[in-house]
Structure 1
Amino acid sequence: ALLAHMKVECKCHGVSGSCEVRTCWKVMPPFRQVGNVLKEKFEGATEVHPKRVGSRKLLVPKNSRFKPYTAHDLVYLLASPDFCDRDPQRGVFGTSGRQCNRTSEAGCELLCCGRGFRTAQAEVVERCGCKFHWCCSVKCKQCQRLVEMHSCR
């Protein structure tokens, strides 16, 4: 995901940018771009199982209807557990009771696996009105405010 999307950047050195000497280096792609590539690969990943062919062990697609994978594809041996529901044997805590952000892009509906969420009012105490005192200390007041908290059912 990184190597395939690296770019070359160059800088010219010399009198008034005359480019007598040019220095070039490779730069990583933006984090968002790498994430998008990995997400796309994850969504198109192929489940495989080991198969012995002569003295070699190969990974072949579990479903013969799928095209053979390439060196650039993502493959997996075991399907991921369902992270929505609690499963102590697999170390999955589930999302019930987990706090969520109703206004984020993923939102509570996705995190709560479609089970919905509860909304409650909570009073939080925060530092506020902080002032720097010369030299070397910061004094703050304590402020209370009411916030909405959302948690998965």
Structure 2
Amino acid sequence: MKVECKCHGVSGSCEVHTCWKVMPPFRKVGNILREKSEGATEVHPKWVSSHKLLVPKSSRFKPYTAHDLVYLLASPDLCDRDPRRGAFGTSGHQCNQPSPATDGRELLCCGRGFRTAQAEVVERCSCELRWCCSVKCRHLVEVHSCH
């Protein structure tokens, strides 16, 4: 949160200050959370003289601070189907074949590869008039889906 203030008064004399807290832009919050989650530390509870502490699960993990994210259980592998844990897998999902982002074949298909098929798409553009009475707005596109 950031504090923003505004001056009020006759001719900008700033007799009264009004201040409030504002959230940073949504994208900035998302980027900070992504960075924190990538550096999160797995911990387990440990009792020390009647106090429950969270200690890193491995001595190889960095000690965490009050500003770090910690977790008790690892997230399920979203690549593989495991309905019991709420993971439905990525098999069959459409991927954006050339994309290096999370919708691309490398990340979304989890290295399992993809298949390519032709699909007919109906759109409102690229229409062609057929002689007497019909307009064709369909064309073929390549669709990529994860194995």
Q: TM-score, normalised by structure 2?
A: 0.77
Q: Which amino acid aligns with 1:77?
A: L
Alignment RMSD (CA, Å): 2.5
- State the shift of 1:33 in Å: 1.2
Q: 1:117 aligns with which of 108, 114, 118?
A: 114
Query: CA contact under 8 A between 1:13 and 1:19: conserved in structure 2?
Result: yes
- State the shift of 1:8 in Å: 2.5
Deviations 1:95-117 (A, max 9, x none): 11011223543322111111222
Summarize the Cα distance change of 1:16–1:119 in structure 2 as closer, same or farther, 3 Å threshold.
farther
Question: Which residue is 2:25 aligned to?
Answer: 30
For the residues of structure 2 that align with 1:119 and 1:100, how far apart are their CA atoms?
10
Question: Which residue is 1:143 aligned to?
Answer: 137
List gaps (5 residues or longer) in structure 2.
Answer: 127-134
- State the shift of 1:7 in Å: 2.2
Q: TM-score, normalised by structure 1?
A: 0.74
Deviations 1:69-95 (A, max 9, x none): 222111111111211112233232111
List gaps (5 residues or longer) in structure 1.
Answer: 1-5, 130-140
Q: 1:65 aligns with which of 54, 60, 63?
A: 60
Question: Which residue is 2:132 aligned to?
Answer: none
Q: Which amino acid aligns with 1:63?
A: S
Number of matched pairs? 137
Query: CA contact under 8 A between 1:127 and 1:142: conserved in structure 2?
Result: no
Query: CA contact under 8 A between 1:117 and 1:150: conserved in structure 2?
Result: yes
Q: Which amino acid aligns with 2:145?
A: S
1:71-90 pair list within 5 angstroms: 71-90=66-85
